[in-house]
Structure 1
Amino acid sequence: MALRAKIRKAPPIKASVRRSQLITTYGVGSVLPVESESFMIAGLEHWNTSNCEPIEEPRLRALLGVHELLAPPGGESGGMVPMVRFPEWVSCPKCNRLDNFWRLADKVDNKYVNKCRHCISVRLVPSRFVACCVSGHIQDFPFRYWTHRGRDVDDDSDHSLRMIADPADSSLAGIAIVCSCGVSRSLEGALGSGALTTGCGGRSPWLDTDHEPCGQKLVGLQRGASNVWFADVKSALTVDRSLTAAEEILERIKPELEGLEDEDVAVLLRIKAKQHKVDPDALVDAFRKGTTEAEDYQHAQARLREEEYEALGREDEKETFVCVPEAVRETSGTGRMLDLVSKVPRLREVRALTGFARVSAVAETKTSPGKLTRNRATWMPAIEVLGEGIFVRFRESAVVAWESSEFAQQRAERISSAMQDAAPASVGVLEPVRPRLLLLHSLSHALMRELALDTGYPASSIRERIYAAPGQAGILLYTASADAAGSLGGLCAQGTVANIVKLVEDATESAQWCSADPVCLESGPSGAGAANLAACHSCMLAPEVSCELQNRYLDRACLVGNSESSDFGFLTQFDGL
């Protein structure tokens, strides 16, 4: 969909961005390339919400603590998506000048245009380099600081810069920054952690804020690098949960309760209870329950997943959710580990952008440092997708027996220890990895690979949803799109007990050997944050869009054992029994 973007301090331009991209790829605070220029999506306070369609999903809205979930503007008629110019430093490929856009750009009818004022018709090129910190701030690369090796210099004509590229050297060593004072330095070693010794300036150009207190160090990155912006997306399936009379009234009067003191809230609740003829104590209890869950994010998220887990195990037929479960009655072989298989011919998922991170991805239990707005967010951008899936629930007794084994405990403890050693000191003590999560996530990736081969869906179009809380042992594999028709049923058709038993057997056989073995199966902690053991691109890793845990907590040995303990793999202990 084409979106018309209103650029502050620049003429409006047209950028082709899909709605879903404004959640996952080019959300608030991300860098968006547009032809020969570069911009950043502005904060939510700059958005015109009259062009945004509301998306109804009370469970997710309550989890995030906002009043509304709104779909970003889209379509040819489009809404105005505000952006800011970033990076502001540009260079001219003809005269090699390197400076702020507002100094180098030409003016036509008193408006800046993306052309060098010295070379007239030559288009300016945005800087390839930026500087970020782990707290979510971003700024232009400090070219003067780098060129003068940390010496502060005045921002005047005595220190004008030029960027000279050596055509014979395509590396950073072939790019030299030359100052008019005679000092020069190549960009070799300018990128990555530890390259810049200056502290972060606390700049958030998408929010129009500068010099926010920040004690982090800057990290030099290329403008188009994937770690300049990581989306923090939270999602929920639309499943039926009947509300009590008190909860229905509370949903309606929530806007009236905002900003009131506790005493005033209690008075208003009893007045509303009398008006709507509901029990006052029930209305007060519903309010307190909702407030407690909003404050305890992890508790609310666990409750949301618990409701989904229960819905996926029972027969249901609603407009946005259809589930047809089938119990597994086999008592031998692979069937001994399976408890239930559900076809999900119709499902609806709402995905909301809640924040973002820079330099390194946000861990599942951490809050994203990047802010969508200067103040507390009252709404968040979201999209709804429709699709189909298969839910597989494993037998609780089988999972408990495996996770209590010494082999399972040792694998989980090894990853937990490696993650703690690899984590920065500022993170503190990490939550230990549970054997159940390690098993179910590895199982999910093994089944996902086999399912892609059987159904013809590309692996990147199949997503996972892991239910690994205590008492839960389920995996939902589904495909969904923003199209009104959803998907075509090819995935759901595989959701019979016979097909899933065969799928697990095929996954067992495939997991026995990896083309990178024996190195892969015997490898130590690896991957981002040292959160994997026996996992590589040839066996366990999935496309990033498919994995909800960013390809972390994977270990093929949990499924098939290793050379020392081949009988302790969860899949191999049932094979042929």
Structure 2
Amino acid sequence: MFKSKEVEIPLRRSELISPTGIGALTTNSDGINLMPGALDMWFDNADIMENEFEIYEERLSKIFNVESFRLPPDYRAPFNKYQQAEKNLNIRIPMVRFPNWYYCSSCKTMSKEVSSRKDSILTCSHCKNNYARLIQVPLIVACEKGHLDDFPWNEWVHESLGPRCKGPLKLISTGGATLSSMKVKCTSCSGERSLRGLTTKDSEHLYDHLSKEGYYKCTGRKPWFGDRIQNEECSCIPQPILKNASNAYFSEVLNAIYLPPNRDAKIQKILDLLALPNIMENIELLKKTAPIPLIGTVLKTNFTSLSDIDNALLEDGIAKIINSEDKTENNENAVLLNLKIEEYDLLASNEKIESDFLVVQPEYDKDGNTLLHQKYGISKINLIPKLRETRVLYGFSRLNPPLPLSTNRKEIIENGKSKLFIKPQKFKWLPAYKVQGEGIYIEFDDNLLSEWESSIRNSSRVSKLNERLNNARQEGIGIKADVSPRYVMLHTLAHLFIQEIVLSCGYSSSSLKERIYVGPKENENMNGFLIYTSSGDSEGTMGGLVRLGEISSIESILEKAISKANWCSSDPVCNEIGMDFGQGRDFLNGAACHNCAYVSEISCEELNKYLDRGFVNIYDATDDFKSFFNYVETR
């Protein structure tokens, strides 16, 4: 007979942010499916010192309207009886069982158990087999509002919304591991029904084949809130999915690169000086006709208090003042764009910053930097041997990927909090995780990119890109703002760059991430990407990635990445399908698939969307189209 123990599952703290956050299903070593409980119960203990887990990131706090963020608590077992007096020992994240329907491994009889059962092994009450155990069913139902519930087994087998017969039921497999080989049978009335095609779009669904009495509507259940919480009202029609399906859970996570406080302090001091009435009057007069660098020159000439300030910092201060006047609270996209602009100002800076965040320029020989620009159009490479990233979980979605936070920021954030907290109005924090690592920032020449975009504006590949984006918008799919050819090119190149550097730096592909910086910034454009480690040791770096910043290494990796873009092992199919119909999620990709341009979804900030090798390098160049690197080579 099985010896029962308390069910548990070891998780890393970072996993509780993504991909196994609140409301996500995960499986332990005993094959039991568990789900992290609501945030209300995470620190629900008087002995917990919450300050130890708090993270402060001012920029993110303003976006989410919270006071702080909290690390998921780590489990610390006391070494001896004398240590019991210390704080933050034996903290556990509450978990609930789901699905709640089980079938017996011996007699196949189904039964329903409560979510709070703590035994790791549940036994069958219908058969006398002492070694039989209950196994959770493979099928659940989810709705687009994030609700989750057990599949309506009774309703399905009896083809009725309110069946009088209550079973018991049996889940029988006729051989095979798919739903098409499984059926549910009622032992009381001999009703029987197959599960074939339940998870496909073109076959049987709960909304048209469960019964003839009407639609089966969502129950509004949130099992991660516990069994005692009343279900919400929901008018959605739930969709049957496998419990481990990829669309069962999408984390809504926002990342931000840490900015050093000493630099913020310098800019704040400059802002205080610029806010003086006589200086502000000059800014107001000049901003309509003069560019920001010229305004800085005039101010330094007229005011001795500004004469010793670094030009770059002064220009940043002037830009912040001008932008703050132009932005409004309703400009949702500007709030998020500003998050990247502040990071870009630091990553693309020519100054060396010695602090918790370290930016240095690699040592190039006299001709090296010129060669990179002539051959690849690269205007700048900065190395970040010490970098810190904060990731915040603000919600999740099911069935469909989350909408961009820029579409309706306040509504999305409030909706996300209502999924994470039972009583969101009582809490002023969100779960977050800090990651230390290293990175390489690469920036491309804005003039070259603008010339290239002008030359291909009327090409068929650009027309197909715009067509795919418009089709997605018409389908109600949230699309990233300002998806341009330069964005698709830089995004695809970042993926190819990741694929090549994992072979050289020693990191796994899933531990590297991208951050794309493309968009308007004052009187210029951002045209770069950051490749950085999303996991590192306690010092924040293992050095392998930054060492690739040497000119010979960068050139070799770029050469391989660009060459790889020319041909996919699925070509010509990959390119032709991409051009004809689009491919990937929501058909938003051109020539890009798992064999060429995809990386791990946790490495891509857009979940492998907006990709096309054709903008980097492609074998079918036409008279009206050249990829960027073909254009740079032949210009």
Q: Please state if 1:94 is matched with 2:78.
A: no
Q: Is the 8 A contact 2:567 2:618 kept in 1?
A: no
Q: Please state if 1:44 is matched with 2:39.
A: yes
Question: TM-score with structure 2 length normalisation?
Answer: 0.75
Amino acid at match of 2:585: A
2:502 to 452, 456, 465: 452
Q: Is the 8 A contact 2:404 2:480 kept in 1?
A: no
Q: Is the 8 A contact 2:383 2:439 kept in 1?
A: yes
Q: Please state if 1:337 is matched with 2:394.
A: no
Amino acid at match of 2:106: K
Q: Is the 8 A contact 1:413 1:433 kept in 2?
A: no
Q: What is the Cα deviation at residue 245 of structure 1?
A: 7.6
Amino acid at match of 1:160: P
| Structure 1: unaligned runs, 5 residues or longer | 1-9, 249-284
- Taking the aligned partners of 1:355 and 1:293, their CA distance within structure 2 comes to 25
- Taking the aligned partners of 1:153 and 1:97, their CA distance within structure 2 comes to 19
Residue-by-residue CA offset, 1:366-398 (whole Å, 9 max, x unaligned)? 547652113245211111111111100101111
Partner of 1:301: 336
Partner of 2:404: 364
Partner of 2:20: 26
Q: What is the Cα deviation at residue 538 of structure 1?
A: 2.2
Residue-by-residue CA offset, 1:505-540 (whole Å, 9 max, x unaligned)? 332222222222222233330001011001122221
Q: Please state if 1:571 is matched with 2:629.
A: yes
Q: Is the 8 A contact 2:448 2:632 kept in 1?
A: no
Partner of 2:152: 142
Matches within 5 A, 1:41-440: 41-48=36-43, 50=48, 53-77=53-77, 78-102=90-114, 114-119=122-127, 121=130, 122-154=132-164, 158-166=166-174, 168-179=175-186, 180-193=188-201, 195-197=205-207, 198-208=216-226, 209-240=229-260, 241-243=263-265, 244=268, 297-314=332-349, 315-325=351-361, 329-330=369-370, 334-335=374-375, 337-365=377-405, 367=412, 371-374=419-422, 375-376=424-425, 378-407=428-457, 410-422=460-472, 425-427=475-477, 433-440=483-490
Q: Please state if 1:558 is matched with 2:553.
A: no
- Taking the aligned partners of 1:332 and 1:21, their CA distance within structure 2 comes to 39
Shift of the 205–236 alpha-carbon distance from structure 1 to 2, 3 Å rule, reads: same
SS at match of 2:632: coil
Judge which range, 87-96 or 322-331, deviates more: 322-331
- Taking the aligned partners of 1:576 and 1:403, their CA distance within structure 2 comes to 15
Q: Is the 8 A contact 1:48 1:80 kept in 2?
A: no
- Taking the aligned partners of 1:429 and 1:573, their CA distance within structure 2 comes to 28
Partner of 1:6: none
- Taking the aligned partners of 1:466 and 1:429, their CA distance within structure 2 comes to 16
- Taking the aligned partners of 1:71 and 1:247, their CA distance within structure 2 comes to 33
Partner of 2:290: none
Shift of the 386–520 alpha-carbon distance from structure 1 to 2, 3 Å rule, reads: same
Shift of the 17–485 alpha-carbon distance from structure 1 to 2, 3 Å rule, reads: same
- Taking the aligned partners of 1:502 and 1:113, their CA distance within structure 2 comes to 55
Q: What is the Cα deviation at residue 312 of structure 1?
A: 0.5
- Taking the aligned partners of 1:334 and 1:515, their CA distance within structure 2 comes to 30
Q: Is the 8 A contact 1:201 1:210 kept in 2?
A: no
Shift of the 424–102 alpha-carbon distance from structure 1 to 2, 3 Å rule, reads: farther
Shift of the 428–38 alpha-carbon distance from structure 1 to 2, 3 Å rule, reads: closer
SS at match of 1:478: strand
- Taking the aligned partners of 1:493 and 1:333, their CA distance within structure 2 comes to 20
- Taking the aligned partners of 2:515 and 2:479, their CA distance within structure 1 comes to 26
Q: Is the 8 A contact 2:6 2:120 kept in 1?
A: no
Judge which range, 383-392 or 436-445, deviates more: 436-445
Shift of the 162–145 alpha-carbon distance from structure 1 to 2, 3 Å rule, reads: same
* Paired residue total: 523
Matches within 5 A, 1:475-486: 475-481=529-535, 483-486=537-540
SS at match of 2:539: coil
- Taking the aligned partners of 1:349 and 1:84, their CA distance within structure 2 comes to 30
Partner of 2:278: none
- Taking the aligned partners of 1:304 and 1:391, their CA distance within structure 2 comes to 17
Q: Please state if 1:538 is matched with 2:595.
A: yes
SS at match of 1:24: coil
Amino acid at match of 1:217: I
Q: Over aligned residue pairs, what C-alpha RMSD do you find?
A: 3.3
| Greater share of residues in strand | 1
| Structure 2: unaligned runs, 5 residues or longer | 78-89, 208-215, 273-319
- Taking the aligned partners of 1:293 and 1:70, their CA distance within structure 2 comes to 30
SS at match of 1:206: helix
Q: Is the 8 A contact 1:102 1:112 kept in 2?
A: no
Q: What is the Cα deviation at residue 171 of structure 1?
A: 3.0
Residue-by-residue CA offset, 1:163-209 (whole Å, 9 max, x unaligned)? 1222x343323212112222110111122446221222221122344
Shift of the 522–169 alpha-carbon distance from structure 1 to 2, 3 Å rule, reads: closer
Amino acid at match of 1:373: F
Shift of the 218–164 alpha-carbon distance from structure 1 to 2, 3 Å rule, reads: same
- Taking the aligned partners of 1:385 and 1:318, their CA distance within structure 2 comes to 19
- Taking the aligned partners of 1:408 and 1:146, their CA distance within structure 2 comes to 54
2:557 to 486, 503, 509: 503
Q: Is the 8 A contact 1:130 1:138 kept in 2?
A: yes
Q: Give % identity.
A: 30
Q: Is the 8 A contact 1:92 1:98 kept in 2?
A: yes
- Taking the aligned partners of 1:245 and 1:429, their CA distance within structure 2 comes to 39
